[in-house]
């Protein structure tokens, strides 16, 4: 006889209770209540649409449980288009970022005047959430975990605490469910001709947080600091300093990869930080910060490139689901906010000659692909050989000289986070990547020749891939499946 436990009976009863939500009640259904999803809902509702948002998390409460981001002129422009009050509140809640310093191995090699607002990711998401809740045209369904997308039936199946929920007859679907998007992976499995490259970052990140030493004056809260390929330092709006360190699994020593704090590991971590960022160790970090490093698990991600942004016609992919990048680019949240703005414009201005999602794909696909180039370029700077690192530093210095002598108007960073983004305006990513290629072609050739003469090593660290990364670098799966591929939801915070 087969024994069925009470737990199994409970599970069967739960799964048999299937609630139904008519998707036809809404003009748009959005999966993911992160900045990109909420901003998309706001723009679509502004055009008069009725919108439903589904997210697997409970309604968020702790905005400081996320991570710091910088809203640059691109992102702020998109918020202004949605509602100037949202942009104003973001500036009030966040803190001004005035300069970006590039400081590899305790040496400042570049300083860029910046125009950005430092804010926690979930702070800006919460501001957008309040806007959506007040719109009167947006319904938000929390604690709905996406289990399945059926493209042919235009339906979604979610699991909740009380059972399953089926959303049927969906008019249009906006996927904003993060870099490991279940919607995107389901489309890869079910939509002929649609592919998506998922390339691992090639590294992981890990954080230390520490209160500022109030007596120190060496580190400015208005500046952000890039530690070459080793990490990033900035202050959060609540006064806590965030120090992120790059971790290379299978390459770095135990003190960077382990999850348990020991006195030996903490001493090695302290020595490592002093070697590569002595000014940070001296002014910001104490024993509690080093110990806290081991309480913060390292995390990774993927870089995304989709063959199109509107698979199946009635589905559109935005935010990290369409073009995830590494944090080092600084463009993750900003590109997602811009997606929402452009999507809103395309939907509001649809013509008889072109479908609204098709128009979005036509207008924005080149920029989405340029973001992948930007991300892979950033990856090469983080996971690089000694020769590549030296070449990159020389190119950075050369661009600084070219800018000072007015040979070039500005660098790509100047048009993303710097003064030119304010004065000249925000440029498309595709245009910025083309400009950067022209500016660095000669510099990179000269720097490469010098590093070759110096016989610097070209060997890159062999990073051990996680199980998720090993399965990430795919395009079309070996066989079409009826359900979405599994996604790691622990790395998705309020969607994308």
Residue 480, class by beta-carbon neighbours within 10 Å (0-12 exposed, 13-18 middle, 19+ buried)? exposed
pLDDT band at 376 (very low <50, low <70, confident <90, very high): confident
Lowest-pLDDT range of 3-7, 20-24, 108-112, 316-320: 3-7
Distance CA 20, CA 18 (A): 7
pLDDT band at 466 (very low <50, low <70, confident <90, very high): low
Distance CA 284, CA 239 (A): 12
Tokens 């395309």 -> residue: 346
pLDDT, position 16: 56
Lowest-pLDDT range of 58-72, 76-90, 287-301, 332-346: 58-72
Using DSSP's 3-state secondary structure scheme, residue 81 falls into helix
Under a CB-based contact definition with an 8 Å cutoff, are residues 88 and 131 in contact? no
Mean pLDDT of the chain: 88
Quick one: average pLDDT of 126-143? Answer: 97
Which candidate, 184, 183, 212, places its Cα nearest to that of 198? 184
pLDDT, position 377: 83
Under a CB-based contact definition with an 8 Å cutoff, are residues 187 and 312 in contact? yes
pLDDT over 80 at 493, yes or no:
no
pLDDT band at 241 (very low <50, low <70, confident <90, very high): very high
Using DSSP's 3-state secondary structure scheme, residue 100 falls into strand
Quick one: average pLDDT of 111-132? Answer: 93
Residue 134, class by beta-carbon neighbours within 10 Å (0-12 exposed, 13-18 middle, 19+ buried)? exposed
pLDDT over 80 at 449, yes or no:
yes
Model pLDDT for residues 137-195, shown as the tens digit of each residue: 999 999 999 999 999 999 999 999 999 999 999 999 999 999 999 999 999 999 999 99
Bridge partner residues of 308 (DSSP): none
Under a CB-based contact definition with an 8 Å cutoff, are residues 200 and 465 in contact? yes
pLDDT, position 490: 33
Model pLDDT for residues 207-229, shown as the tens digit of each residue: 999 876 667 788 999 999 999 88
First to last CA, the chain: 48
The sign of the CA dihedral 266, 267, 272, 275 is: positive
pLDDT, position 311: 96
pLDDT, position 400: 86
Distance CA 174, CA 55 (A): 12
pLDDT, position 47: 95
Using DSSP's 3-state secondary structure scheme, residue 259 falls into coil
Helix or strand (DSSP H, E) at 305: strand 302-306
pLDDT band at 64 (very low <50, low <70, confident <90, very high): confident
Name the pTM for this structure: 0.86
Tokens 């302290």 -> residue: 270
Distance CA 223, CA 241 (A): 12
pLDDT over 60 at 494, yes or no:
no
pLDDT over 80 at 485, yes or no:
no
Model pLDDT for residues 67-113, shown as the tens digit of each residue: 899 999 999 999 999 999 999 999 999 999 999 999 998 999 888 88
pLDDT over 60 at 382, yes or no:
yes
Quick one: average pLDDT of 289-308? Answer: 93
Helix or strand (DSSP H, E) at 196: strand 196-200
Quick one: average pLDDT of 468-486? Answer: 40
pLDDT over 80 at 412, yes or no:
yes
pLDDT, position 484: 37
């Amino acid at each position: 006889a087969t024994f069925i436990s009470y737990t199994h009976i409970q599970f069967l009863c739960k799964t048999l209770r299937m609630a139904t939500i008519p998707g036809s009640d809404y003009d748009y259904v959005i999966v993911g209540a992160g900045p990109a999803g909420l901003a998309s809902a706001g723009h679509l509702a502004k055009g008069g649409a009725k919108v439903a948002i589904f997210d697997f998390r409970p309604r968020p409460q702790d905005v400081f449980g996320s991570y710091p981001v910088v809203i640059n002129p691109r992102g702020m422009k998109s918020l202004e288009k949605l509602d100037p009050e949202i942009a104003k509140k973001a500036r009030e809640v966040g803190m001004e970022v005035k300069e970006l310093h590039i400081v590899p191995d305790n040496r400042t090699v570049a300083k860029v005047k910046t125009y950005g607002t430092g804010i926690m990711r979930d702070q800006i998401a919460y501001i957008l959430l309040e806007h959506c809740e007040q719109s009167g045209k947006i319904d938000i369904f929390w604690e709905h975990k996406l289990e399945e997308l059926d493209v042919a039936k235009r339906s979604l199946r979610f699991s909740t605490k009380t059972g399953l929920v089926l959303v049927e007859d969906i008019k249009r679907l906006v996927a904003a469910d993060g870099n490991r998007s279940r919607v995107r992976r389901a489309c890869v499995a079910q939509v002929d001709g649609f592919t998506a490259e998922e390339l691992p970052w090639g590294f992981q990140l890990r954080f230390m947080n520490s209160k500022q030493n109030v007596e120190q004056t060496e580190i400015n809260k208005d500046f952000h600091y890039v530690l070459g390929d080793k990490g990033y330092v900035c202050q959060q709006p609540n006064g806590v300093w965030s120090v992120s360190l790059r971790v290379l699994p299978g390459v770095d020593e135990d003190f960077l990869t382990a999850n348990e704090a020991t006195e030996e590991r903490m001493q090695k971590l302290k020595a490592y930080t002093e070697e590569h960022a002595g000014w940070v160790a001296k002014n910001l970090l104490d024993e509690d910060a080093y110990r806290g490093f081991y309480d913060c698990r390292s995390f990774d991600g993927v870089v995304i490139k989709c063959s199109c942004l509107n698979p199946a016609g009635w589905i559109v992919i935005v935010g990290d689901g369409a073009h995830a990048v590494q944090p080092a680019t600084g463009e993750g949240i900003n590109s997602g906010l811009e997606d929402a703005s452009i999507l809103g414009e395309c939907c509001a201005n649809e013509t008889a000659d072109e479908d609204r999602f098709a128009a979005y794909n036509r207008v924005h696909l080149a920029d989405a692909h340029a973001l992948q180039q930007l991300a892979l370029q950033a990856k090469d700077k983080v996971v690089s050989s000694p020769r590549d690192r030296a070449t990159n530093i020389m190119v950075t210095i050369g661009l600084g000289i070219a800018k000072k002598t007015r040979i070039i108007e500005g660098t790509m960073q100047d048009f993303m986070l710097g003064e030119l983004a304010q004065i000249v305006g925000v440029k498309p990513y595709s245009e910025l990547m083309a400009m950067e290629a022209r500016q660095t072609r000669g510099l990179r050739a000269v720097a490469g020749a010098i590093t070759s003469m110096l016989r610097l090593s070209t060997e890159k660290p062999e990073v051990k891939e996680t199980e998720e990364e090993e399965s990430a670098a795919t395009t079309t799966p070996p066989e079409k499946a009826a359900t979405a591929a599994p996604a790691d939801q622990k790395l998705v915070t309020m969607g994308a």
